[in-house]
Amino acid sequence: MKRQRMHWENPETLAGQRLMLGFEGTRFNRDVEEIIDRFKAGGIILFRQNIESPDQVARLCSQAREFAASLGLPPLFIAVDQEGGTVARLRAPFTEFPGNPFIRTEQEAEQFARITAQELKGAGINMNLAPVMDVAPKGLDSIMKDRAFPGDAQRVSLLGCRVIKTLQENGIMAVAKHFPGIGRTIKDSHHFLPVLDIDPETLEEADIIPFAAAKKAGVSGIMLSHISYPRLDDQWQASLSPVIAGEMVRKGLGYSGLTLTDDLDMKAISHDMETCVHQILRAGIDLALICHQGPNMEIAFNEMVRLLETDEKLYSAGRESLDRIMAAKKKYLSELF
């Protein structure tokens, strides 16, 4: 299908490309159409509720891609959380792995990532919101104990970077999560706002090491946690923080790839959506995830458009964000341009 030309830098498309949205159902339906047409979404995210079989999900992804192309929009990111173990959206007949805690060697990490990449690509998915690069300290009832690689920061770096490189060598964008590390927390941000009152030096010497390694490995994206780190930013949690997303990721790590929020529908987010959008734009975060159908999608889109139309500084930063988004799409989705 020949792609129509379009001014991708108008505020509507500039806003929409910053959104990754979820939906209900297993078929290409009116909700998916609205996400792509009305909100100009840069990507969609799939959950168990969207997946029945390899053929079904491949058809769904294909129809979504074709619809975006028919509107002259950039190709879609199509993402899923496929960590293995407790967080795996694709179940049998897709290959089921026991998860990161059971990966002990680089060879096992490579096998997981190679098979997963092949199956994701066959299903039409191009981004894996994995691997978890959090370090779960021994002796702590970490919320990530069932999802983290075993061992210290160096071991997590070694195994995680093998997953990143193998996924990306096989055409699947990898996303390291959850910066700057949530392995020390015991509360679940799906239900609470965890507070990690820890000094920056301890984070630098342990928790951030795997993310620095992921950056060196060329990871496509880094996902920010919903955790509050009051000694880093005493006002905003990581996913809304210009200090953490801007100063620490962009300048501290020297990272120039994609940054993503975790799901903004989680209970850890107590702010209204307009405030979230303002902070995301201020922080220069590239992709805002809203994973559940509802009014937050329209609120986020409308507020993002309004801010881009009225704030020259945010519009300029939005252009830079679009450049990063388009660079990733051209690298991994080049056949769709």
Residues annotated as part of the active site: 190, 262
The per-residue DSSP string of 116-182 comes to: HHHHHHHTT--EE---B-----TTS--TTTTTSPSSSHHHHHHHHHHHHHHHHHTT-EEEEEEET--
The contacts of residue 333 (CB under 8 Å, 6+ apart) are 75, 126
The contacts of residue 272 (CB under 8 Å, 6+ apart) are none
CB 217 within 8 A of CB 165: yes
Torsional class of 139: left (φ above 0), alpha (ψ -120 to 50), beta (otherwise): left
Q: What is the DSSP letter of 52?
A: S
Alpha-carbon distance 268 to 194, whole Å?
7
DSSP helix/strand/coil, 60: helix
The residue assigned the tokens 């880094």 is 222
DSSP helix/strand/coil, 100: helix
Q: Which two tokens stand for residue 62?
A: 């294909």
Strand pairing class (82-84; 87-88): antiparallel
CB 267 within 8 A of CB 303: no
